[in-house]
Structure 1
């Protein structure tokens, strides 16, 4: 297998196309010879610091151009001129018009659904119109404290209470979304060489941040109930563990929800070994019945991310990071100030108004209803193969039939017009992902688009899908 790594500096355009362009240039220049086996999707993704999905799309684009060929179970190989045919099946690009019946369907990006009527857009329009008439507007155009204005931190405390966590405004730091909150927490709480532990399958963003902060990332064993306390205990006995990053409610990617007994047990292990906890509750308000946050069982050492993007709309780019009960947010605020001086107060003000006037609660309720409809549709099409015992989320966990692997299945699905995310992307600390993919049902704008994608995915599962030819 070649150690090929494309040079991406100075290139413009979508990353997957940039990678495909570089592949074509290296092939033309002789740096990639015909028959050479390219790195696996996962290897190249880690080498470039991008997602596996990006590499999957890049390889699919290169195959469409006749640059490479994929062989199930063997890998991706560079084509020679002699085996390139203008008549090869060519999948359509993901940027095709959304209204096109033949257009690919994106089920790989985890985003909230859009209920009929797009209530979030209407709510934002009303909020901006009111803000334009508000005497508070001039003050929002100036610099604010790094942790956020007092009113915005109060709104953050009120929003955290929706998750079952009591917090004072002094504990709250306003961040530019959940990913930024993770970055702020790691910058404030860890040093290079520290050990960061997560579930064996975890949100890919934490993997990227672990590399950036030079942390030792270790994935811990899971069972049907989530992260196993015995695994955390074993890791702590093997060496000092600085921080546990966990998603107890609506785990990404499996969708699982830890029970209260499991949360108490994890909190006790962390307390006994002096481990700090970063609890990411991106989806916590979607399930109507849910245990109290892990932070309530370890209030002295848990940093809590009260999600916004996955519950309301990601475009606000606001998230709340809550420090432990007896702590204040100064160290976290310092990291916000060092990176960006402050989080944009205009969007923080919009969210504050939504929290205060009930708009945020209404939007979450709308998400619950739309998600229930989409999950019912997915269950009808995909059947019992999906893990249905998790929370009422936008993402589903789909174990694959024996003999199939996540990366290969995702590449095959993309060639047949539907994008999903392979399990390998979520494997932490050098672990091997199971034979499964994550399916996101919120991204398609309409249920009709979702249904088309699910039907294509069902066909790939059943082995009845055939490559779609480009219409010329």
Structure 2
């Protein structure tokens, strides 16, 4: 039985920068459901009454209730009224906590934003140019947009040093292909982005792990491994690292940059999460601008579908070799998506969208820490968590069991540079927070994960 008509304490005050009011009302509901101030079966007030209490027109509340039903937060029961819905069990849908993508932006109607953005692109662009081949590396407008996007990280950047690429993975593959030869070794930390490992394997390069401490890669260990493997290329993901969420402090960045300068190394600084960090240090590219390829993608902080990433080339380095490598497997970015990315960065839409996504990401992190109740989770920004498993679980076993129960996560094994764990190594999983359609769905998934993690005697997998 529900609690009948409930009081309106779950309604917060509207904010000027919170986006459309109907979406703010939906956000109030999501917060209250996550905090259990609203529970399944609670009856909401009639739309007209709620509109009067909030001082808004009836259409605003109607849109809010419609959107909340779309998100499976509410259910209508005819003359009985509108009620908070019970968690929906979808026997065919797996809840994906494995893919690192940004969450839906708080306070922004993404449907409207896309319609407006594409409309502006079509107004200001020649349709024939949007449907034909383009030179790799981006137009002058694309490069200018890249310079604007990376100004918070690097300050003023010469547009001529910027390449616009169809995603960070293609940029990473092009850099590996152009800066190393088959059989050579790329150096990285012991846990690294799986895309690096995949690209290296496909291109017949090896990846070797450099020892780390609590601050990240050790400069002395890097020098030793460079000499051992005759390595020329180093991969680092120094801010809110995937998967550990660790951020390398400024001093360590400066020390590693000094090693790169001393040994004439090239560093790929893959930095997709810098804009999520509350106080991010300056990139390594700041300390060694002639030795670092700086990579920033829109896929992790705006929308994966934009398929746009920017590479800042090292100072004084020609671009032709990298562009040639890129063209060998992807001729160009999709012109329409490139134009949309450029349009949004130039007109300020990207900044507004980023702010909405950061607001939602922080809210989801707070919910995750509270739901999981794990003091060892990193207290940092970003869109994923790194959770230690109890000793009775091996990472791959937990992943398979979670999959059976309708939850997708990734174990530390997917990020491991070495082929096997060291004896007695701690098992971890990465939990991605952005893919869930709502905070409501996310909290329920996290509760199920926590319950599974604490079960004992179930390491065997049901098939």
8 Å Cα contact 1:200/1:431 also seen in 2: no
Give me the whole-angstrom Cα distance separating, in 1, the residues matched to 2:170 and 2:237: 16
8 Å Cα contact 2:226/2:232 also seen in 1: no
User: Are 2:439 and 1:447 aligned?
Assistant: yes
1:207 corresponds in structure 2 to 197
After superposition, give the CA deviation of every residue in 1:196-231 in whole Å (9 maximum; x if it has no partner): 011100110110111111112102222322222232
Give me the whole-angstrom Cα distance separating, in 1, the residues matched to 2:108 and 2:429: 29
Match 1:414 to one of 374, 387, 403 = 403
Q: CA deviation at 1:272?
A: 1.6
The TM-score normalised by the length of structure 2 is: 0.76
1:285 corresponds in structure 2 to 275
Give me the whole-angstrom Cα distance separating, in 2, the residues matched to 1:369 and 1:98: 19
Structure-to-structure mapping, 1:159-308, within 5 angstroms: 159-308=149-298
Structure-to-structure mapping, 1:353-364, within 5 angstroms: 353-364=343-354
After superposition, give the CA deviation of every residue in 1:98-152 in whole Å (9 maximum; x if it has no partner): 9572234211111110134654443221111112222543333333222211111
Q: Which runs of 4+ in 1 moved over 6 A?
A: 464-467
SS of the aligned residue for 1:268 comes to helix
Q: For structure 1, which segment, 168-177 or 254-263, has the greater mean C-alpha deviation from structure 2 after superposition?
A: 168-177
SS of the aligned residue for 1:343 comes to coil
8 Å Cα contact 1:173/1:332 also seen in 2: no
Match 1:462 to one of 451, 454, 459 = 454
Match 2:381 to one of 382, 392, 401 = 392
Q: CA RMSD in A?
A: 2.3
After superposition, give the CA deviation of every residue in 1:48-79 in whole Å (9 maximum; x if it has no partner): xxxxxxxxxxxxxxxxxxxxxxxxxxxxxxxx
2:98 corresponds in structure 1 to 108
Q: CA deviation at 1:337?
A: 2.6
8 Å Cα contact 2:105/2:353 also seen in 1: no
8 Å Cα contact 2:308/2:337 also seen in 1: yes
8 Å Cα contact 1:416/1:465 also seen in 2: no
SS of the aligned residue for 1:332 comes to helix
SS of the aligned residue for 2:295 comes to strand
Give me the whole-angstrom Cα distance separating, in 1, the residues matched to 2:145 and 2:125: 19
Match 2:117 to one of 127, 133, 151 = 127
User: Are 2:415 and 1:403 aligned?
Assistant: no
8 Å Cα contact 1:188/1:332 also seen in 2: yes
User: Are 2:147 and 1:157 aligned?
Assistant: yes
Q: CA deviation at 1:351?
A: 0.7
SS of the aligned residue for 1:163 comes to helix
8 Å Cα contact 2:193/2:415 also seen in 1: yes
SS of the aligned residue for 1:277 comes to strand
Give me the whole-angstrom Cα distance separating, in 1, the residues matched to 2:418 and 2:158: 35
Q: CA deviation at 1:464?
A: 7.8
8 Å Cα contact 1:283/1:310 also seen in 2: yes
8 Å Cα contact 2:392/2:457 also seen in 1: no
SS of the aligned residue for 2:373 comes to helix
Give me the whole-angstrom Cα distance separating, in 2, the residues matched to 1:272 and 1:116: 46
What are structure 2's unaligned runs of at least 5 residues?
A: 1-69, 73-86
Aligned length: 371
Q: Residues 107 and 386 from structure 1, CA distance in 2 versus in 1: closer, same or farther, beyond 3 angstroms? A: farther
Match 2:334 to one of 329, 344, 360 = 344
What are structure 1's unaligned runs of at least 5 residues?
A: 1-96, 468-472
The TM-score normalised by the length of structure 1 is: 0.74
Q: Residues 431 and 385 from structure 1, CA distance in 2 versus in 1: closer, same or farther, beyond 3 angstroms? A: farther
Q: For structure 1, which segment, 448-457 or 361-370, has the greater mean C-alpha deviation from structure 2 after superposition?
A: 361-370
Q: Residues 414 and 341 from structure 1, CA distance in 2 versus in 1: closer, same or farther, beyond 3 angstroms? A: closer
8 Å Cα contact 2:108/2:356 also seen in 1: no
